[in-house]
Structure 1
């Protein structure tokens, strides 16, 4: 990566942190890019010159301005969460004309709630938030103890302890509303989440109703060994993984070509599945 791309990446990071976390500091840039304090200061100074209305100087750094307008940032929460979960900060890439990418509809995520969720996860705190679901479409106040952001393939969740359910749950980010209030330290830690801390094996094979030739095609697709694909996963994520593989654990599709894959050890896995 040339110096120009490195500089743009640092300016992108300034916007990323300011927008999704509410503030940005010299120290964050130093730690993220292993640069000197002087370089971090210069980057923030350059950013302010180009985007004078986006940041407000405060003790210890800069806060996001109510007039913030993105210049390098996509405002898609997935961009921030990719960095949050992997440390990878990707610049916008031009798509090769010989390829095509699906455009998945973006879900609206409240930046105000996101800032509170990020803070609650980082400092292990509990949060009072409003949440809606298909089973309860009216605003439902909850006290939630978040511990991890989870990408299930098509959408992002946040996992944590829900005081209403009295158990660990996954809540969809786009279904939060309001502002969210930090209530103090959480007594429900990630270490206490049994389904998160438990690892299980998913043993998958081609639907046995398929012909031997068809089963061989699927075995090659998924690089199966001995006709089986064995996946080690957190128990809390097993249901999402099976959904992504289009494996129906409730019933077999009437057409094996549509079913394609089956879960061999369903009795072992079933206790960890939703409504298992």
Structure 2
């Protein structure tokens, strides 16, 4: 790829990214994304094909280039940065080219999923296809499962997959790093496996978070930290995600703010809103009823 200009490498990386993580790319997408003419986009696809002749095949009916089973990424895609890009709907290929370095440090991730696993999960979700995976759980060890995925989620500590599990016949969370093999199935999901039937995902829970009434001596500092208006931070979160968010920010979810310690600077004022939400065993101080 050294023979190409920076702008050309951007476009080729974009094609590589789209194939790898969505399973397809079209000439019109290249034209729209880079504000090119059709002739220029056609040349880019030709150049990419010359570099990786086995990576894509053109479908005359759908007018799209589809990923092949022999696909091997031309560019290097960093797993952690790719997940962030996918979460923010960015597919510009800059992972492969390098960006301006900013003086900002973030905590080192303790677990990073395999990039090939991320790619296949992304393809399955975008194309609404079930998958067969090898998954290792803490309770049952390794085994094969059939899932119908609809979202990849950052819960603050690690990435997981939200999917319908055909084994338990329910929607559940699956840790990405515990998935060691993914096969996309040529099936159409059943109506009960659709994301709209994931009631915990579709239900929005309103949270009212305030400075902890007992553990914080100067609540104004907390109000500034979180941009609270009238002393309250109002957050709408999916019921399936509420427990993760409350644990991540150490929000005291006990009814009367009984948790003590400097880590509990926030208090959930409307604990009743959590009724019926899942994953609340990890919400600090919440009493299951």
What TM-score do you get using the length of structure 2 for normalisation?
A: 0.76
Correspondence 1:1-276 to 2 at 5 A: 6-21=7-22, 24-47=25-48, 52-53=51-52, 55-56=54-55, 58-60=57-59, 61=65, 63=67, 68=72, 70-71=74-75, 73-76=76-79, 78-79=81-82, 82-83=85-86, 85-87=88-90, 89=92, 91=94, 92-97=98-103, 99-109=104-114, 111=116, 113-136=117-140, 138-187=141-190, 188-213=193-218, 215-249=219-253, 253-255=259-261, 257-274=262-279, 275=281, 276=288
Residue 15 of structure 2 aligns to a residue whose secondary structure is helix
C-alpha distance in 1 between matches for 2:157 and 2:42:
38
Pick closer, same or farther for the CA change 1:9–1:44 going to 2, 3 Å. same
Shift of 1:118: 3.1
Aligned equivalent of 2:285: none
Deviations 1:187-212 (A, max 9, x none): 21111111111111111111111355
C-alpha distance in 2 between matches for 1:252 and 1:165:
36
Contact 1:19 1:64 in 2 (8 A): no
Contact 1:128 1:182 in 2 (8 A): yes
The alignment yields a C-alpha RMSD, in angstroms, of 3.1
C-alpha distance in 2 between matches for 1:249 and 1:9:
47
Shift of 1:84: 6.3
Shift of 1:5: 5.5
Pick closer, same or farther for the CA change 1:28–1:132 going to 2, 3 Å. farther
What TM-score do you get using the length of structure 1 for normalisation?
A: 0.79
Which ranges in structure 1 are unaligned for 5 or more consecutive residues? none
Contact 2:57 2:68 in 1 (8 A): no
Residue 125 of structure 1 aligns to a residue whose secondary structure is coil
C-alpha distance in 1 between matches for 2:69 and 2:187:
26
Shift of 1:253: 4.2
Contact 1:124 1:189 in 2 (8 A): no
Which ranges in structure 2 are unaligned for 5 or more consecutive residues? 60-64, 282-287
Residue 148 of structure 1 aligns to a residue whose secondary structure is strand
Report the count of equivalent residues.
265
Residue 242 of structure 2 aligns to a residue whose secondary structure is helix
Contact 1:129 1:179 in 2 (8 A): yes
